Amino acid sequence: MLINHFRRTLVATCLAGVALTASANSFQRVASFPVAQNLGSNPIATETSAEIITASEDGNTLIYSDSPLGGVGFVNIKDPRNPQAAGFLSLDGEPTSVAGIANWVVAGVNTSESYVKPSGYLAVVDLSSQQVVQRCDLGGQPDSVAVSKDGKYIAVAIENERDEDLNDGEIPQQPAGYLSIIDFDVDTGICKSVHKIDLNGLAEIAPNDPEPEFVAFNDLNEIVLTLQENNHLIIIDANSKKVVNDFSAGTVNLSNIDTKRDGALVFNESLENVRREPDAVKWLDNERFVIANEGDYKGGARGFTIFNKQGDVLFESAESFEHEVIKTGHYPEKRSNKKGAEPEGLEVAKFGNDTYIFVMSERGSIVGVYRDTGAAPELVQMMPSGIAPESAIAIPQRNIIATANEADLVEDGEYALT
């Protein structure tokens, strides 16, 4: 886990005796936290992972999901330069995502017996006591979790994920996934009711196997949902519990890329009509959202795309994000294939007067920081991360962004984990 401070700095560059100065905004690393410090009495060689991350309302505590360890960890960042272990809560299952609102943290927990018998619940955790106050049955295997900004609703993508060893992972595979919308009482932390939103019949690739992946709310309590394997996007109104729009995520053409694991960095190849297959999604405002095109099934668009909720493409990064990864020396040749640098996680937040998009390269272990201009985003910096950044949480009131990095080095005998 890495913590970065946002600063307005004066940048000076000297070349051949000529000094160039310019005002710039930048993020600078201030600390890292090895999640092994939250192992308690468990052996130091215990596998851990900081996967999805959120923060308390006051910005003083980070909370992350740890799937291998089966719970959520807490980190005290009152002093961001000296983060401290603040406890671990076991959840009797595999946490898939966490989100914070007021004094609560909600976590999707996978308790599935098998791929064909999926199950799970939503844990509502009191931040003060670090105890579960309610378990809301979800009826299937959860993935992403999001809470509306007013605390009225919780959205959970019930993926009921495919078995990648069955029929080479081809879809459709039953049972089908869906979206759960929970009416939430933010004052008491109680799930009042759970609504199942049927997603069948919308996507063209496997209409009866939606495979929902990631959810996000805008200020209007509209939800954008990605169907990664189906290369599809859905807009749902949480107030009415109705699907209001859906459309294909489309394809992209790529040039000057490397597509072979051959030990050579040769960026002279191209791919056409590559499915975007989005993973993470975040709203930029109430009309526009951005997707990270991981391409985990048949695709691999290697970049990020901005849509409006009518389905129009407003910006496509194509191969440009990957080229920035290459320039920094973070291109993952040993793992390179059709997914390249594999953008997976996203965060969007406003620092000062500007809105920033943070694009996480899981394979490249680096984060691209872009300023939203309303048109083509402006690259601000490439920010090296821990190993395999999965998610990030911005805390603008404290000028902080923290990344959760899911890979550890236990198998390699390295126990200084991030």
Question: By residue range, what is the domain housing residue 276?
Answer: 249-375
Kindly give the residue spans of alpha helices, DSSP state H, lying in 299-386. 320-327
Q: With respect to residue 300, please indicate whether it lies within any of the assigned structural domains.
A: yes
CB atoms within 10 A of CB 47: 14
276: in domain: yes
**DSSP-assigned letter for residue 167:** G
**Does residue 142 belong to any structural domain of this protein?**
no
Instruction: Give the pLDDT of residue 11.
Output: 28
Rounded Cα distance between 42 and 160, Å, is: 31
pLDDT band at 16 (very low <50, low <70, confident <90, very high): very low
Asked if residue 92 belongs to a domain, the reply is no
Number of domains in the chain: 1
pLDDT score, position 335:
55
For 171, the token pair is 């879809």
Q: Contact, 210 vs 176, CB < 8 A?
A: yes
Q: Is residue 94 in a domain?
A: no
Residue 251 pLDDT level (bands cut at 50, 70, 90): very high
Q: Is 80 exceeded by the pLDDT of residue 232?
A: yes
Q: Could you tell me if residue 321 is inside a domain?
A: yes
pTM: 0.93
Distance CA 276, CA 194 (A): 31
Work out the mean pLDDT of the chain and round it to a whole number.
Answer: 90
SS3 of residue 233 by DSSP = strand
Q: Is residue 403 part of a domain?
A: no
Between residues 363 and 337, which one has the greater pLDDT? 363
Give per-residue burial for 384-412: e unless 16+ CB within 10 Å, then b: ebbebbbbbbbbeebbbbbbbbbbbebee
Q: Is the pLDDT of residue 23 over 50?
A: no
Residue 79 domain flag: no
In angstroms, rounded to a whole number, what is the distance separating the alpha carbons of residues 196 and 382? Answer: 40
